[in-house]
Amino acid sequence: MEAQAPPRVIVRQPAEGKDLIIATRPFAHEVRARSWMHLGVSVLVTVACYFGIFLFEPIIMKALFGILAGLSLVRLFILYHDHQHKTILIRSWIADGFFASFGVFMLSPPSIWKRSHDHHHKHNSKLYTSSIGSFPVVTVEKYKTLSAPERFAYLLIRHPFAIGLGYLFVFIIGMCVNSFISNRGRHWDSLMTLILHAAMGWAAWYFFGWQILVFGFFLPFIVTFALGSYLFYAQHNFPGTVFTDKDGWSYVKAALDSSSYMRMNPVMQWFTGNIGFHHIHHLNAHIPFYRLPEVFKAIPELRTTAKHTSLRLWDVIACFRLKAWDPALQRMVTRRELRRRYRP
């Protein structure tokens, strides 16, 4: 009797380069019912938070629900972001209408958001072109050539003060005012957005008083845009990130080396719509946000090669300390290093 041959063992070769993108393609399909479920739950949670602001009298409760409303808006923004990528709920006139209105509500009208964000994905971490749809990054040599006002403006937009006030600096000025000034015909909806936003603020005060203006209007937006601006910033400005010129740039390298995996607890992961798996999102933007954890578990290379950051205080400080890219050192340098080593 012949001995039975041992079972064949197939050793999976580590994926790299374009093979990694191919490995993610099975996940780049929405589950329609899940998409609608996530949208419905997110809307209900957000509406419940706004009801809490109106119904509870103690100021502390209004403030609490205002903060929760702001966090819920972050999650809804991730769904808007995925819809603009044509990742979820495409070819639905209901979803199209809802998200177009939501973009205006969130000071991110579709015309400027889609154009700038698509550019960001195509040029992520590419020196001199990556600042559109993202935070500006200059080399130390370029920094030395900036005038005093230019340095001030550059350092300001990357400063915790400006990012904490992302409501004003990133969304009102950066997203709406600047886009309308740059091209009034293309971005007419930016002006409409600003007018409607001012009208909503006036209506909140006129019909409901100063408490609703503060806790039901300003506070949720302040929370949403502060967290959103920091996520935009830290997911590409973290210790270990890499910037390259166009000759040394590749899409996969930019996704893995210049986009972070931001570790979060389950609560913040829910509120931020899994956007912490940012390296995977940049590898394949057509993966729905609710499937990003599946990809992370299924493809080992996306765990072993991930560059980590988090929302912990020391990681936040480490990200904010980074000011300019040094091609010689192949890393971002701090302002102290700029002063000490790169004086003009």
Q: Domains of the chain: which residue ranges?
A: 31-341
CA–CA–CA angle 262, 305, 228 (5° rounding): 20
pLDDT tens digits along 255-271: 999 999 999 999 999 99
The residue type found at 160 is: P
pLDDT tens digits along 317-339: 999 999 999 999 999 999 999 88
Phi and psi of 187, rounded to 5°?
Answer: -115, 45
Percent of the chain with pLDDT over 90: 83
Percent of the chain with pLDDT over 70: 93
The residue type found at 88 is: I
- Tell me if 132 sits within 8 A of 123, measured CB to CB: yes
- Whether the predicted pLDDT of 131 surpasses 50: yes
Q: What is the pLDDT of residue 344?
A: 54
| pTM (global) more than 0.85 | yes
pLDDT tens digits along 193-233: 999 999 999 999 999 999 999 999 999 999 999 999 999 99
Query: What residues contact 104, with CB distance under 8 A and at least 6 apart?
Result: 189, 192, 193, 196
Query: What residues contact 271, with CB distance under 8 A and at least 6 apart?
Result: 71, 72, 74, 75
